[in-house]
Amino acid sequence: MRAAAGSIRSHDWLPGRTLLLAVLAAGLCAAPVLAVAWIALTGETGDYLRHLAGTRLTTYLATSAVVAVIAAGGAGLIGTSLGWLMARTEFFGRRTLGWVLILPLAVPAYVAAYAWLDLSHAGGPLQAMTGGLFPTIRGSWGAGLMFAFVLYPYVYLLARNAFAGQSADASNAARTLGAGPVSAFWRTSLPMARPAIAAGLALVVMESLADYGTVAHLGAPTLSIGLIRAWSGAGSLVDAARLSLVLVLVAILVFGLERAQRSRARNVNAAGRHKPAARLNLNGATGLAALAACLLPLLLGMIIPLGRLAWLALRTETANGLAAASLHSLTLAGITALIAATLGLGTAYALRSRTAIATLAARAAGLGYAVPGAVAAVGVIALLSGIQALIDPAWRAITGEVFPILLTGTGAALVFAYLSRFAAAAISPSETALARVTPSLDGAARTLGATRRRRVWQIHWPLIAAGVTSAGLLVFVEVLKELPATMILRPFNYDTLAIIAHNFAADERLGKAALPSLLIPLVALLPMIFVARYLSRQDR
């Protein structure tokens, strides 16, 4: 029996096919951004952009900055405190809350915004209860708060891992050097967790910059608003691409800052042997306070807004077409999740081979993190119309007909845009899962006579299944929540839950918007529970 030429490392099986998947993932993620950059840099400046540059561009940039700062500040405060409570203390309900606190990720920020504006608008229930004292939640700060309420789990998850992974020795050393417990926290624990917190904050900032529904509803004109107006109002692909490029540059700046933090983190975390810190026992009043601190973000981000929407939905006639829209949402999310999970797993396997191409492909796919949905959509349009223009003359010469329209005819373009934004999100969970299959496990199975097929099904799959499933489910939830790309790329008359909810909310018919708004987090909740429990189990 002859083996393939070259080295037989126990882990580099299937290099060819997985490498292909990695390159495909990279292509899907990177192509739209590159198309955007190409159009933006080569196209002619339209009237809209010229007008914009003279009038609203600074407003867009300033509003984006305010929204991002408030979102990051709020999410950072909530996420870091909760992360510390979960990792370092013990109180009644901690174990369950550990994963429940992740669930607000199932609530789209715009859904929270619909409910909070409805609750707090002039003459609304909150103002009635407080005698007009409760401020109406709107504008930049309102939108920032909404993002903080539903996106804090990104910070929470990473901060919790960082605090849990810290050796007690660093803080103990600070204590022996004369620092009190509080000072030791500020001077050792927090700085050591800073890179993780920064990574979480970068995600929060990105998501708030990518959002359209929330800022549109609360009246905070960020860059994405300008982008969507350029496309759907002025109809200019070049202008939209230029604004997209600005947005991507901001995103790259954000992630660049985060990376700069992380490269220094290696020194910070080189604390030597790991000795887990003893949990601080919170009993009585302090325990109750901790419990309240955990329940508050859940109330603000999930229970109050969803409760309000449920109340509204029960009092309003159900809108038409909800069943079809639900089916569309589920189909799009399901297909994208399946493909993304496959691409993510393929890339993770390709990365194991440690070849330069695989690493490059994973990096390129990672670009997707920096691509807001609207940008991905503009990129896909630019790309597909470019291809169309390229093929059309030849097609006509051969068939005598116009080349079929690739763009709006099918949901394929939409799935493409989703993938370019979310496939990257499926890579790192798969990578983490695959890290459990150590080379020696593979080697052990082989020396015990297991064929490749048996190794895959009896060793690899059981160990990675939960991780790969979570990766897919995470993408599923994200697609379900996605609005701007869907608005731009959906086939004519093809509604999703997010679209219906947005259209009714934009028409100020919140009663009608309530049920579709509610259905998104409700559908997303089950997969989110799976993901949350998986992530929390991983940490232990």
Partner 1 sequence: MADLHTVLSIRGAERRYRADHAALAGADLDLHAGRITALLGPSGSGKSTLLRAIAGLERLEAGSIRFGDTIWNDANSHLPPEARRVGMVFQDYALFPHMTALANVAFGLTGPDKQARALAQLEAAELGQRAKAYPHELSGGEQQRVALARALAPQPGVVLLDEPFSGLDRRLRGELRERTVDTLRAARTTALIVTHDAEEAMAVADQLALMDDGRIIQTGAPDAVWMNPVSATAAKLLGDVEIIETRAGDGQAATPFGAVNAAGFDAGQRVNVLIRPRAFALTASETGDFTITRRRSAGPHLNLRFASEAGDWTAQTPSPSSIAEGDRVSVTLDPVYVRVVAG
Q: What residues make contact with partner 1 under the rule CB under 8 A?
A: 1-3, 6-10, 436, 438, 440-441, 443-451, 458-459, 462-463
Q: How far apart are CA 434 and CA 463, in angstroms?
A: 8
Q: Cα separations (Å) of 51 from 37, 40, 250, 297, 459?
A: 21, 17, 22, 42, 61
Residue 280: which of 178, 158, 173, 182 has the closest Cα? 182
Nearer Cβ to partner 1 (9/94): 9
SS (H, E, C) 57-118: HHHHHHHHHHHHHHHHHHHHHHHHHHHHHHHHEECCCHHHHHHHCCHHHHCCHHHHHHHHHH
Q: 3-state class of 320 per DSSP? A: coil
Between 461-481 and 412-434, two packed helices, what is the crossing angle to 10 degrees?
140
The number of residues in the chain equals 540
CA triple 137-138-139, angle to 5 deg: 145
Phi and psi for 276 in degrees, rounded to 5? -60, 140
Neighbours of 229 (CB within 10 A): 18
Dihedral sign for Cα 73, 79, 82, 87, please: negative
- Whether residue 156 contacts residue 102, with contact meaning beta carbons closer than 8 Å, is answered with yes
Q: How far apart are CA 440 and CA 442, in angstroms?
A: 5
Cβ neighbors of 157 (< 8 A, separation 6 or more) are: 79, 83, 102, 200, 535
Q: Cα separations (Å) of 138 from 67, 141, 218, 508?
A: 11, 7, 5, 14
- Whether residue 117 contacts residue 190, with contact meaning beta carbons closer than 8 Å, is answered with no
Q: How far apart are CA 307 and CA 387, in angstroms?
A: 47
Neighbours of 256 (CB within 10 A): 12
- Whether residue 384 contacts residue 406, with contact meaning beta carbons closer than 8 Å, is answered with yes
